[in-house]
Amino acid sequence: MPKAYWIAHVTVSEPDSYGLYAQGATEVFEKYGAKVLARGGAVVGLEGESRPRNVVIEFESLEAAQACYDSPEYQAARKFRIGAGDAQIMLLEGV
């Protein structure tokens, strides 16, 4: 079964609320066995719209990544992210 990747492109406008989200989400990612591959760091936008904060998280499967997103714990953390900036989040199945 191929691994899956949670990819987020974010512009944070409310750092305090986003910090609460990040804290809660990190605990959920750990619970689901996720491995953070990239979070924050320098960004070089080459084509299209780029955002200042980008995150790549590896999961054992697309089902595990979806279960993490759908979990009550993640949804509770997510409430702090809503309104704290703009985000594009996707799950991508690996090869």
Count of structural domains within the chain: 1
What gap in Å lies between CA 77 and CA 92, rounded to an integer?
21
Q: In what helix (H) or strand (E) does residue 57 lie, and over which residues does it extend? A: strand 53-59
The structure's pTM equals 0.92
- Give pLDDT tens digits for 38-69: 998 899 999 999 999 999 999 999 999 999 99
Q: Residue 9 maps to which CATH number?
A: 3.30.70.100
| Partners of residue 8 on adjacent β-strands | 55, 89
Q: Which residues form the domain of 33? A: 4-43+50-93
